[in-house]
Amino acid sequence: MKPNTHLERAGLIAPDYIDAHGRPQQVSALTRDRLLGLMPPSSDGASPLPAAVVFHQGEPLMLSPVLFAPADWQLTSETGERWSGRCAPGETIALPALPDGYHQLTLEHETQRDSCCIIVAPRRCYEPPALLAGDSLWGSCIQLYTLRSANNWGIGDFGDLQRMIVETARHGGAFVGLNPLHALFPAEPESASPYSPSSRRWLNILYIDVGAVADFQHSEAAQAWWRLEATQQALQAARRAEWVDYPAVTRLKLAGLRLAWRQFQQRDAEDAEVTAFDAFIEAGGDSLLFQGVFDALHAERRAQSRACHGWQSWPEAFQRPDSAAVLAFRIEQSDKVRFYLWLQWLAAQQFAACWQRCQQQQMAIGLYRDLAVGVARDGAETWRERELYCLEASVGAPPDILGPLGQNWGLPPMDPQVMAARAFDPWITLLRASMQDCGALRIDHVMALLRLWWIPQGESAAEGAYVHYPLDALLAILALESQRHRCMVIGEDLGTVPAAIVDKLRDAGVYSYKVLYFEQASQQAFRAPAQWPRQAMAVTTTHDMPTLRGWWRSDDLRLGSALGLYPDKAVLAGLYRDRQAARTALLRTLLRSGALPARQRYQRGGARMTRALSLAILGYLAGTQSALLGLQPEEWLDMATPVNVPGTTDAYPNWRRKLSATLEEMFSDPAVETLLAAVDRGRKGMK
C-alpha cells in the first residue's frame, strides 16, 4: 500500500473535478485505486537529485541535493564548459548562469555517481517576426488525405501539398495547416485515423508521391507495371472513389514502391542517394530501426493471419522488440526491414521539399503540423516503449453537454513518472520530430500538458479520473524547442479548460485555438471582431466538427441522432433549440459587424446557407483581432459532409471523405478566387 499512498500524496490523481456544467464531481475510490495500481511507485527517493530540474532563463540556479555525506559535483554545459565543487549534507549548490539548453550535473560520493539534467528554458515560445510586427495572417487548413488531383493515386500526397502551398501563397496565405502526418499501419490500411497512429515520431508513408520518386521513374519494371491496363484501371477507380479506398491505395503504392526499391538497390554503395539513406538510418537510431522492424513484422504476421491486428495479438516471442525471435527476424528479413526504412526516408525527403517550397514562396509561417495526443495501443511506439505507456488504461474525456456518455479515445497514456525519470527525453524527442520542417505546431488537446482523463481498461468513459502531468516542466521544454526550431505553437484548448492552465499557456506564448461555433458571447450575439484575442488562431470548424454548411443546417445533430449518439431525446431537442438560437445570434453579429449587408433580410434563425452568407461569415472571421485565421477548403467548396464523427468507429466512414473538387478545379473556380481575395483583403486591413 505504500506506493499508492505516495502517489496520492504526490497528487497525481485528482479526487474530483468540475464537469462541463460547472458542477463538482467526485472520483470513486475504486477508480483511483485501479489507476494507482497501473503506475509503479516513483524511484526518485533513491537519488539525491531528480533526473531533471527545469529553470527559466534569469532564475538563480539553486539545487538542494538530499545527501548523507559530502559529495563532489561537476557541471558540464551543453557546449562543453565545466565547473566543479563540493557539497555537504544540507547545503545548497549555486550553479553559474547558463544559457538556454540541456546541461549535465553529476554528483559523486565514494562509489556512487548520480546525474541530473539541468534544463534552462526561455519563458516564451517562438513567434514569427510578422506576428510580432502586428500582421494578421491567414492560411489553408487541410486534411491531406482528402485532396483530389489529376496526379495523385486516390489519396492526397506530398505532391498535392506542394500544389496547395503554391496556390495558398499565390492568394496571400501565410501557411498550410495539416492533419497529423504520423505513421499509421501499412499492413492494416483500414486503421486510418491520423489521431490513432502507430508512432508520432515517423511519417505516414501513404503520403509519398510515388510518381515523383526517381527510382520509380528510372525503373523499367516499374514503368512497365505503370503502363499495364490493370494498373491504370485500379488507379482510376481509386481516384474516382468518393471515399479514400485505403486498401486499394495501399496496394497500388506499395506495388510501385517495391519496384522502385529494387531499382534503388542497384545503386553503387558510394552513390549520393545511398549515402544519404544510410545517414538517415544512423540519425534515426533505434526509434527508426524498430519502426521498420515493426512494419515488416506486422506485414508478415498479417499475411499469415488477418486476425493479427497489432503486436498484442502476435505470438509471445515477437511481443518484445529485444527478443531473440525479433533479432532473428531482423537478420533474416533485413531486406524487408530496409524497405520500410527507405519508405520513411522517401517520406521525410518529400516533406522536407514541401517545407523548402514554403520558404521559396516566402510564406511567413509555411507548414503547420499537428501533434496527436497519443498513439494506438498496439502500434510501433508502444511495442518499443512498453514501460513508458500505461497499456491497461486509455485516455478520453468525461461526459459533457455534447457527449453525454463521455469519450474513450482508446489511446494508452504516457506515465508522467516515467517521463520525469527519463529527464523528459520522451517529450523532447517527440517535439524535435514534430517541429522538423515546419513553422508552426498545433498540439491537439493541449490540456494534456496539465492533465489527462484516464479510463481503466474495461470501464466506461464516465468511470475515469484526471491524472496530472508536470505542466511547468513540459511548457518550459516546449518553449525551448520552439525557439530552437523557430516553430510557433498553437494549443487546441477546446472543451473544459481548467483555470490553472489558461494563464500559463498565454504567458508561455502558446496561441489559443478559437472555433467560431464556441464564440457565442451571449444569447444575442457572437463575440465582436475586436474582442477576439490577439494571441489566437481563429477557425470556423475542425476535423471533429461539422462543416459550416453542416452546422448551419444541423446536419451533425441529425447524423448523431441516427447513429445513436444522443439517446436522450430531451437533450437532443435542447441542442436543436440552441443551434437555432446560435444561427440567429450569428446573423445579428454579422449585421452589426458589417460583414453582412444590412439591406439583406433573413428570417430569425431560418436563413438558408448561401454563398453570400458563407462569404459573410468568413469575412467576419477575417476581421477579428486574432493573429491567425485558418480556412478549410470544405468552406470554399460549400461542402456539408463531415470528415469525422467523434464517438463512432464503424458506424461512419471517418477519415475517408474526399473534397468535392480536384485541386485543379478548385483553384480555377471564380467563386474560390473571390472568396480568398476577400479574406486576404480583410486580413491585410487589420494592421
Is 535 part of any domain?
no
Q: Regarding beta strands 182-183 and 175-178, do their DSSP bridges make them parallel or antiparallel, or are they unpaired?
A: unpaired
CA–CA distance, 369 with 441 (Å, rounded to integer) = 5
Are residues 345 and 201 part of one domain?
yes
C-beta neighbour count of 282 within 10 angstroms:
10
Model pLDDT, residue 606: 57
Amino acid at 651: A
Is residue 8 predicted with pLDDT exceeding 70?
no
Stated length of the chain: 687
Q: What is the mean pLDDT of residues 672-686?
A: 94
Q: Give the separation between CA 353 and CA 360, rounded to whole angstroms.
A: 10
pLDDT confidence bin for 407, thresholds 50/70/90: confident
Q: What pLDDT is stored for residue 42 in this prediction?
A: 64
Which strands, in side-by-side order, build the sheet including 407-411?
407-411, 393-397, 451-456, 465-468
116/216 same-domain check: no
Residue 431 lies in a domain: no
Cα separation of 593 and 621, whole Å? 10
- Looking at the fold, whether 331 and 193 belong to one and the same domain comes out as yes
The arithmetic mean of pLDDT across residues 492-519, rounded, is: 92
Residue 16 counted as domain residue: no
The whole-angstrom distance between residue 391's C-alpha and the CA centroid of its chain comes to: 20
User: Which residues, other chains included, contact 274 with Cβ-Cβ below 8 Å and sequence gap of 6+?
Assistant: 264, 267, 268
Which of 656, 572, 650 is CA-nearest to residue 241? 656
Q: What is the CB neighbour count within 10 angstroms for residue 112?
A: 11
Mean pLDDT (the chain) is 93
pTM, two decimal places: 0.95
Instruction: State the Rg of the chain over Cα.
Output: 26
Evaluate whether 386 touches 461 at the Cβ level (below 8 Å).
Answer: no
Q: Is the CB of residue 507 less than 8 Å from the CB of residue 623?
A: no
Lowest-pLDDT range of 112-121, 332-341, 392-401, 432-441: 392-401
Helix pair angle (246-265, 220-227), 10° resolution: 150
For residue 6, is pLDDT > 60? no
Q: Examine the fold and report which residue of 303, 321, 350 is the final residue of a domain before the chain moves on.
A: 350
DSSP code per residue over 384-414:
H-GGGB-TTEEEEE---SS-TT-EEEEEPPB
CA distance 461 to 469: 20
Query: 141, 513 in Cβ contact below 8 A?
Result: no
Estimate the crossing angle of helix 220-227 against helix 229-240, to 10 degrees.
Answer: 70
pLDDT at 4: 37
- Segment 621-637 shows an average pLDDT of 97
Kind and range of the H or E run holding 16: strand 16-18
Between the CA of residue 631 and those of 178, 458, 611, what are the distances in Å? Answer: 12, 39, 15
Same structural domain, 204 and 87: no
Position 401 scores a pLDDT of 67
Q: Are residues 215 and 306 in the same domain?
A: yes
CA angle 180, 162, 224 (to 5 degrees): 100
Report yes or no: 390 and 374 within 8 Å, Cβ to Cβ: no
Give pLDDT, residue 628.
98
Which amino acid type is present at position 546? Answer: P
Alpha carbons 65 and 62: distance in angstroms, whole number: 10
Number of domains within the chain: 2
Strand partners, 82: 76
User: How confident is residue 402, by pLDDT bands cut at 50, 70 and 90?
Assistant: low
Q: What is the pLDDT of residue 308?
A: 83
Q: Would strands 407-411 and 451-456 be described as parallel, antiparallel, or unpaired?
A: unpaired
Examine the domain organization and report whether 342 and 234 are in the same domain.
yes
Domain membership of residue 422 (yes or no) is no
> Which residue type sits at 56?
H
Q: How far apart are CA 465 and CA 452, in angstroms?
A: 8
Mean pLDDT for the stretch of residues 490-501: 87
Range from 9-18, 497-506, 513-522, 598-607 that averages highest in pLDDT: 513-522
SS3 686: coil
Structural domain contains residue 280: yes
If asked whether residues 339 and 196 sit together in one domain, one would say yes
pLDDT at 232: 98
Residue with cell 497499456: 391
Centre a 10 Å sphere on the Cβ of residue 148 and count the other Cβ atoms it contains: 21
- From 68, 91, 121, give the residue that closes a domain: 121
Same domain (yes/no): 94, 209: no
In degrees, to the nearest 5, what angle opens at C-alpha 19 toward C-alphas 562 and 30? 95
Residues 196 and 290 in one domain: yes
Provide, rounded to the nearest whole percent, the portion of the chain with pLDDT above 70.
96
Q: What is the largest CA-CA distance in the chain?
A: 86
> Is residue 214 included in any domain, yes or no?
yes
Domain end point (choices 121, 137, 161): 121
Whether residue 399 is predicted with pLDDT greater than 90 in this model: the reply is: no
Residue 336's domain comprises: 185-350
* Domain-located, residue 633: no
Residue 263 has pLDDT above 50, yes or no: yes
Q: Which grid coordinates belong to 98? A: 547558463
Quote the CA–CA distance of 374 and 426 in Å, as a whole number: 12
Q: Is residue 138 in a domain?
A: no
How far apart, in whole angstroms, are the C-alpha atoms of residue 193 and residue 633?
20
